[in-house]
Every structure is written in structure tokens, then in C-alpha cells.
Structure 1
């Protein structure tokens, strides 16, 4: 097998395990991958799996992001998505400190109208990832109840 075929083979296995939505099983599988493969390779597999699931299985993708958001490949992914969102907001003419800001957790705080404008021409898979870094005031209120 060449490197691309091998990566695809491993990616299919990771996606298969993630679809069980069993946190203990996934943690065991990730640990096994880290022991048998390079950490960077494993992180690439986990990131690729999220992108694949965001296009093919949104329920599993949401489950992964909800349960493993503190995992290194996903924290890196969220940082990239945050930079993407900021760039898009600035490109659309929004101003930091006026139209959007940041929470102490690093999420982008914005009003509903700004969020709607940001999401207007965003693909479904990008929207799924953006939802994890965007926060509107109504969500903050519901988190404190």
C-alpha cells in the first residue's frame, strides 16, 4: 500500500470507531493509535475524520466535537476555525470590539444578526464547525440557568 492508501485505510477505521459514539471505546482507540502510530499522524487522522464526518454524518461529528473538544487535534482545529471566522467577519466589514468580541474561553461573542450574516454563504460542514466557536448572548443566558 502506498502512503495515501494507508492513510485512507486508517481513516476508515477511525471513522468506523467514532460512529459507535462510545467515549471509552474512542479513548482506547486513540490511545492505541498513539502507541502504534506517530502522534502527528494520529492527530491528522482525527482531524480528517471530523472533516469527513462534517460532510457525511453530522450527528457523529457533533458528538465527537462535544466529547473530544479538549483533545489536541480538535483544539488546534477550533483555533483554525476561530481564525477563519474572524477573517470572514472582518471581510464582511464587522469590527472587533464593536460587532464581536471574545469570551474568556476563546469563543467569539456576537449578536444574532452578525452571526446570521456570517453564516449566510457558509457550507453546511463549515457551519457545523463554526457553531462550536460562535456564541450569541442568548446562549450565555441559557448556560447560566
Structure 2
């Protein structure tokens, strides 16, 4: 990849991962992610996966859903999930909700949230943000 600039490299990497994800072949996706990590580093690969997931959320809901369900624990995806959780927590606190009272975070990175807090969070979020937030928010039967 020495003969191409960083933008081309980034875009080619996104195309590679999206192509693998559309095939819904877990081993191929893991192999591509590992290869990119070995070649480009884990931080850069996390950035690529973030871009991939955002692009899929907006353009290919079926592949996005498959990706989210099958690669929630993939190293490069954990960075994205952590960012989404922190984004949600910050928004909830800024709206006056209290951690431990109105919402909490479980060991899997899901946010357990009351219906009032969930409605307020989703109402003040963009369409793309809502796609991701719905994946991490859980309303338990009893808080």
C-alpha cells in the first residue's frame, strides 16, 4: 500500500471490509480485520471499522444488522461501542438524568435505561445516532 495516499488506503480498506461483510462470512471478515490490524495498526483499523459501520447503518440496514449481531465483540468494533456508550451517557447526564438511578451500564456495554430517559435520549438524537443507540439501550422490566 506504499504507492497510494492515505485517503485511498482508507477508502480501499473500507471497501474491503464492506465487501467481506456483505458476503456474511465471519471467518473472512475476521481475516480481513486481522490483516488490516497487522498492516495498519489497531487504532487505524478501529477507525476503518467505525466508518464501515456508520456507512452500513445509513446504506445497508440488513448488512448492518448482521454485522452488529456477529461482530459486537470484535476488537475494532469495541472501540466504536465504547464511544457510543460514552456519547449516550454524556447526553443523558446533560439532560439531567442520573447514573444509577435513571440508567446504568451493564458488563456487556449495554445501557439499562428507564422508558422516560430512553424517550428523551432518542428524541434529541439524529437518525444515525438513533440507529446506534437502539442497539445499546435496554429497558429492563424493573429498574
* TM-score normalised according to structure 2 size: 0.84
Superposition deviation, residue 103 in structure 1: 2.3
Judge which range, 35-44 or 5-14, deviates more: 35-44
CA offset digits 1:33-89 (Å, max 9, x no partner): 334443333232222111111111122112112111111121111111111101111
2:17 aligns with: 14
Give yes or no for the alignment of 1:61 onto 2:68. no
In the alignment, the residues of structure 2 paired with residue 82 and residue 38 of structure 1 have an alpha-carbon distance, to the nearest angstrom, of 24
2:53 aligns with: 50
Judge which range, 8-17 or 36-45, deviates more: 36-45
Give yes or no for the alignment of 1:128 onto 2:125. no
Change beyond 3 A, Cα 1:110–1:8: same
Aligned ranges 1:1-145 → 2 under 5 Å = 1-138=4-141
In the alignment, the residues of structure 1 paired with residue 28 and residue 47 of structure 2 have an alpha-carbon distance, to the nearest angstrom, of 19
Give 5+ residue unaligned stretches, structure 2.
none
In the alignment, the residues of structure 2 paired with residue 39 and residue 98 of structure 1 have an alpha-carbon distance, to the nearest angstrom, of 36
In the alignment, the residues of structure 2 paired with residue 30 and residue 106 of structure 1 have an alpha-carbon distance, to the nearest angstrom, of 22
Q: Size of the alignment, in residue pairs?
A: 139
Change beyond 3 A, Cα 1:91–1:23: same
In the alignment, the residues of structure 1 paired with residue 79 and residue 32 of structure 2 have an alpha-carbon distance, to the nearest angstrom, of 20
| Secondary structure at 2:80 match in 1 | helix
Greater relative contact order structure (CA < 8 Å, 6+ sep) = 1
